Amino acid sequence: MSNRNHTHTLSSGFCNATGFTCHLLISILLLATALVSCNNEESDDDPRPFIVTTTNLIRDAVENVGGDDVRTTSIMGPGVDPHVYRATPRDFQQMERSDLVLYNGLFLEGRLSEILDRLGDQSRAVTGSIPRNRLIEASDYGGTYDPHVWFDAQLWMYVIDDVSQALSTLLPEKSETFAERAESYKRELEELHLYATQRIQQIPEERRILITAHDAFQYFGRAYHIEVRGLQGLSTATEFGIQDVSRMVSLIIERGIPAIFIETGVSTRAIDSVIAGVRERGYTVQMGGSLYSDSMGARGTPEGTYAGMFRHNVETIVRALSEELQ
Binding site for Zn ion (CB under 5 A): 216, 294
**Residue placing its CB nearer to Zn ion in the complex, 50 or 151:** 151
- Edge to edge, the sheet with strand 100-103 lists 71-74, 50-53, 100-103, 123-125
**Residue placing its CB nearer to Zn ion in the complex, 122 or 264:** 264
Least spacing, CB of residue 235 vs Zn ion, in Å: 6
Longest dimension (CA), the chain: 66
**Residue placing its CB nearer to Zn ion in the complex, 14 or 220:** 220
Cα dihedral 63→65→67→71 (10° resolution) = -60
Q: How far is CA 93 from CA 15, 124, 312, 314, in A?
A: 16, 18, 34, 37
**Residue placing its CB nearer to Zn ion in the complex, 170 or 216:** 216
Integer Cα distance of 123 and 262 in angstroms: 33
Given a contact cutoff of 8 angstroms between Cβ atoms, the answer to whether 212 and 259 are in contact is: no
Least spacing, CB of residue 293 vs Zn ion, in Å: 6
Least spacing, CB of residue 240 vs Zn ion, in Å: 14
Least spacing, CB of residue 138 vs Zn ion, in Å: 11
Given a contact cutoff of 8 angstroms between Cβ atoms, the answer to whether 316 and 291 are in contact is: yes
**Residue placing its CB nearer to Zn ion in the complex, 130 or 167:** 130
Q: How far is CA 51 from CA 42, 95, 96, 102, in A?
A: 11, 8, 11, 7
Least spacing, CB of residue 216 vs Zn ion, in Å: 4
